[in-house]
Structure 1
Amino acid sequence: MRGRLGERLVAHVRTWRPYTLWYVGLVGMAGHAVTTDRHPFTELAAAWTVPTLIWVAAHYLGDYFDAELDALSKPQRPIPAGLIRPRTAVWCGALLATAAAAVAAAVNYRTLVLIVVGIGGAMAYNALLKAKGLLGNLVRGSLTGAALVFGAMTASDWPPAEVLVFVPVFWAHDAASNLVGTLRDISGDRAGGYSTFAVRHGLRTAVHTAAALYALAVSVATAGLLTLPEGRVGGLVTLVIAAGLGGGAFGMLFASGPAPTAVVALRAHEVLVVERMLLAAALLVPSLEAPVVIAFLAPMLAVTLGTQQAMRARHEFPQAAPAYSGDGTATAPATSS
């Protein structure tokens, strides 16, 4: 009995994807930091907490909507494996979304519009748009842009123009990383009838499109940081480090030829999971200053790296991951070690 309970608790932690858990909250904090030079703990905490609660709620609801697809290609995941019941996933998602709405209302009731948009957008993405090509990736990216706006509204009634400049950064970046994430799922998506961009247009086109979106994100971030009145140098240095990691991720994809294996796609996405935390930090440094940002970013990065190493391949691949031919069909297994 005790072993089964522990297994279920681990299944919930796996559903949270702890290696992605910290990023969207950092984006919310970035929105706050760009808006004001005053940083009360309660406002910063809300800027991190609300987007994070919605992020985890979206994982529960997304796994619920993907249960049939996961049963085909990822039967080891908690719902198809029978470790979390579908209705439990719905209840967990609903409770987390309700908690997010309660905190948001307490901070700034106007943000409830963003909460509704965020939850509705996440459900629409997982239930419908995920299978609709590039539109799904773009909608998914817009949800992180909304997190930036929410963070700004923890410090102001409405988001100022200097924050809105950065919204395309996270929209384009997360559309790109989401597109990279679909590269490892192309065989299962095709089998399940999910017409993702990679399924429709092939791996090569998907990689080039993701790289273009990533380049757009970095370009807009650079231009936006140059408009800040102070602290630009620290922000730009952090952005250069992030861009170096991002370039390395796409370098892996391009170096693997016209058809990256699922394992290569996963490795590239793992790099982007770390890189995007530094991207958000680039907006935090000008206002909070580098030592403060490093103090809370370092443990987040440590948890991210550790949990990716311990959990991620097991979450994505049952035993072995297929390699793909140029048209995206499976050809031979590749180990996930």
Structure 2
Amino acid sequence: MTADGRTLRADARAAPRRGGGTWQAHWETWRPYTTWHPALLGLAGALVAGGSSPGPLAVALLAPVLGWLAGHYLGDYFDRDLDAIAKPHRPIPSGRLTPRAALTCGIACVAGSLVLTIVVNWRTLPVFACAVAGIITYSRLFKQRGLAGNLNRGVLSALAMVVGAMAVAPWPPWALLPAALGFALHDTASNLIGTVRDVDGDRAGGYRSVPVRHGTATAVRTAAVLWLSAMVAVGVGAVVADRPAAQFGGLALAVLVGGCAFVVVRPGTVTPRRALRSHEVLVAERMLLAGVVVAGAAGPLVAGAVVLPALVSSLVMQARMRARHEFPADAGDGEDTP
């Protein structure tokens, strides 16, 4: 542990507990502004695979969400020492949620997701096992190893699409491959932007993230390349989609929105707060991107009906919760260049 790390840990012990009871702590742990994303990924995968029955479609939405919540609970459990240094206001280090409760809830979410997926298609078990392994190894192994951790998170998003497809079909169709690759690249990029936001805490905790090792400018450029590659992959997917014009049209909008995220962190302007705003834009844009795949499979009306309410809900919750979850209340404006 570095001297800075020891100082930050001491400050964390002295930090006041943030208000809110146990249910509030669980709500914060869920990051509800992100949970629409796995639901939309599962739905997109199911629709590309030709799903239409309400029951399997419900599983395609719910199983990835439970897996996503498991990732939050287990990630916070494994990251509790790092959060005690950099984010002492979060539920576990603040004492509002016990590590045992987080671990128990994470395991329960894994079990619930497993039951749902196995009931509709036992062939999903190897995919499910890979997803659980990815959740655990992200915090325990890969998060502190730079780009490998970012890639880990991206692959989890691709697996959510595969789980959704296999809720309605024995095997995922080949037409899903470009979209799954696109989301693997996109969420690798967005997770990398998240490490730019967390660079000070990661450095103090001894985590060798890309911005810690190579600087924030390199991290942003790498994220931009990954994001552009994701747009190309989803565009390739439009060629084999049932409604290519709808997917290409939606993709153009997603490109415009996502591009704004990288304008926010253009060279010479990168700060933790700007990285947070960039990540918030990417959180919204990836929901649009999932809607792009839905539009290619089921048409723009279906895509709009499911994506717009989810997007509005996510934006409202981000505005109310996001900054408070990422930064202590007394952190200031965070606009000093790291």
Contact 2:162 2:172 in 1 (8 A): yes
Match of 1:9 among 7, 23, 38: 23
Determine the C-alpha separation between the residues in 1 that align with 2:185 and 2:285: 14
Unpaired stretches in structure 1, ≥5 consecutive residues:
329-337
Q: Return closer, same or farther for 1:252/1:259 CA change in 2, 3 Å cut-off.
A: closer
Which one-letter code corresponds to 1:289 in the other structure?
Answer: G
Task: Specify the alignment match of 1:77 in structure 2.
Answer: 90
Match status 1:266 vs 2:280: no
Q: Is the 8 A contact 2:243 2:298 kept in 1?
A: no
Once the 2 structures are TM-superposed, how far is the Cα of residue 166 of structure 1 from its aligned partner? 2.2
**3-state SS in 1 of match to 2:265:** helix
Q: Which residue of 2 aligns with 1:285?
A: 295
Q: Which whole-Å CA distance do the structure 1 matches of 2:20 and 2:142 have between them?
A: 34
Per-residue CA deviation, residues 275-326 of structure 1 (Å, 9 max, x unaligned), is 000101111112322222222222211210111000110101102254454x
255, 261, 267: which one aligns with 1:243 = 255
Residue among 317, 328, 331 paired with 1:320: 331
Answer whether contact 1:47 1:151 (CA < 8 A) is retained: yes
List, as ranges, runs of 4+ consecutive aligned residues in structure 1 with deviation greater than 6 Å: none
TM superposition score normalised by structure 1: 0.91
Q: Which amino acid aligns with 1:253?
A: V
Q: CA deviation at 1:186?
A: 0.4
One-letter amino acid of the structure 2 residue matched with residue 276 of structure 1: R
Q: Judge which range, 157-166 or 65-74, deviates more.
A: 157-166
Q: Which residue does the alignment assign to 1:97?
A: 110
- Residue matched to 1:54: 67
Q: Does 1:27 align with 2:17?
A: no
Cα deviation 1:41-82 (Å, max 9, x = unaligned): 111111111111000011000001111111111110000000
Q: Taking structure 2 as the reference length, what is the TM-score of the superposition?
A: 0.91
**In the TM superposition, what are the counterparts of 1:1-337 in structure 2 within 5 Å?**
7-36=21-50, 38-228=51-241, 230-254=242-266, 257-258=267-268, 260-318=270-328, 319-320=330-331, 322-323=334-335, 325=337, 328=338
Q: Percent identity?
A: 44
User: What RMSD over aligned residues (CA atoms) do the two structures have, in Å?
Assistant: 1.5
How far residue 133 of structure 1 moved from its aligned partner, in angstroms, is: 0.6
Hey, what's the Cα distance between the residues in 1 that align with 2:19 and 2:197? 31
- Who is 2:8 aligned against? none
Say how many residue pairs are matched.
319
Q: Distance in 1 between matches of 2:220 and 2:128?
A: 31
- 2:37/2:287 contact within 8 Å kept: yes
Structure 1 SS opposite 2:94: coil
Q: CA deviation at 1:146?
A: 0.7
Query: Which structure 2 residue ranges, 5 or more long, are not aligned?
Result: 1-17
Instruction: Please give the per-residue CA displacement for 1:136-181, whole angstroms capped at 9, x wherever unaligned.
Output: 1111101111111111111221112111232210110000000001
Structure 1 residue 235: Cα displacement: 1.3
Name the SS of the counterpart of 2:21 in structure 1: helix
